Amino acid sequence: MNVLVVDDSKLARMAVIKLFRALHPDWSHVQAANGDEAIAALNEKKVDLVVLDFNMPGRDGLDLAAEFRKIRPTMPIAVISANYQREVVDRARVVGATFLPKPVTEQALKEFLATAVQRRQDFDP
Amino acid sequence: MTESPHAALDELELDALTELVNLGVGHAASNLRDMIGQQVFLSVPSVALIARQRAIDLLQTREPRKLVAVHQMFEGDINGRALLIFPETRSLELVRAVTSSDLPLEDIIELEQEALAEIGNIILNGCLSTIANLLLRTLRISLPEIIRGYSHDMFNLETPPEGGDVVLFVYINFVVRGRDVQGYIALLMDLPSVTALKQLLDDFIQRTAGDGNLANEARNRTG
């Protein structure tokens, strides 16, 4: 699996990648610091799953998730944020993304990945 | 901006501090949303080590009007001040948002001081507690105090801690649409606290990024 991690904070990207390494050491990672880099990565590289921050300069993570959804309708997407207001969580649901509270825990990521892998198998058996 | 203070925190440390503030304010905004029943929109935080006068000028440029602020001091391994700042004309609307739209104006005015202190306490405590917890430190946070005045009154307070004319200025804008509520959160720390903060941030980076090599690689890439 190839994971795209999108966050304007380098440290936040490193934190997510650390969790992925603990859970799935064989998976590879692509990083993007903003929406443009993320869209370019999605178009140019094989990406199976995306984890993206909500609060970023320019396009926020949910706008970006909606764009991703148009390009890749079945790709699992997680939006992470410390801002767990109902409207933010609801918007994540509307664009078909999973909301994960930040800082992301290994358990929360594990549960998201279990669903994501299952979903991928359902669409691509 | 000044030269030497920038050397106090490197790029990854500033990134870590911005992320800490992001987490703290995200939690605080969620608390505020529960109080007012409407979404609170947040800007991406900006973090800078700047001269105190520059902080005053930045706020003055954005808000030349009279301001009201909830002020709380924090003490521990790091010392500083947190301010929740609004244009004075908007403060009554915020009080109305957390109380009841039906209350007559005289009741709103009577409640203003108490309500602002409580709102500030919840937001600033939420923000500072999240940051302290993530740094694995305890911060003693003072009771909220209301300040009225202009930008220079917000950042030139007579109370300690004072320690030089350079401050760590963390700035974030929040808006409640449809309520005409808008404000800013600012954290001010003096240089001795920035030095202590540097070590705490390094520890946080090591814990968060995993191994030292990963953090060092990131530092090398960012120069």
* Least confident residue range of A69-83, B63-77, B154-168, B196-210: B154-168
Q: Is the pLDDT of residue B7 over 80?
A: no
Residue B169 binned pLDDT confidence (cut-offs 50, 70, 90): confident
Closest by Cβ to B26, choosing from A11, A55, A56 = A55
Q: For B36, which residue in chain A has the nearest alpha carbon?
A: A85
**With an 8 Å Cβ cutoff, are A11 and B30 in contact?**
no
* Least confident residue range of A66-70, B19-23, B51-55: B51-55
Q: Which residues of B128-141 are buried (b: 16+ CB within 10 A; e: fewer)?
A: bbbbbebbeeebeb
In the stretch 182-221 of chain B, residues with CB closer than 8 A to chain A read: 205, 208-210, 214-215, 218
**With an 8 Å Cβ cutoff, are A10 and B24 in contact?**
no
Q: For A84, which residue in chain B has the nearest alpha carbon?
A: B30
Mean pLDDT, chain B, integer: 82
Measured between alpha carbons, how far is B107 from B96 in angstroms, rounded to an integer?
10
A123 burial via Cβ count (<10 Å: 0-12, 13-18, 19+): exposed
pTM to 2 decimal places: 0.82
Write the ipTM: 0.78
- Phi, psi dihedral angles at B75 (to 5 degrees): -140, 145
pLDDT tens profile A68-97: 999 999 999 999 998 889 999 999 999 999
Q: Of the spans A78-92, B82-96, B166-180, which averages the highest pLDDT?
A: A78-92
Q: Of the spans A27-31, B120-124, B211-215, which averages the highest pLDDT?
A: A27-31
How many Cβ atoms are within 10 Å of A111's Cβ, its own excluded? Answer: 13
Residue A8 binned pLDDT confidence (cut-offs 50, 70, 90): very high
Enumerate domains of chain A plus CATH numbers: 2-118 (3.40.50.2300)
| Domain made up of B3-214: CATH architecture | 3-Layer(aba) Sandwich (3.40)
Q: Is the pLDDT of residue B170 over 50?
A: yes
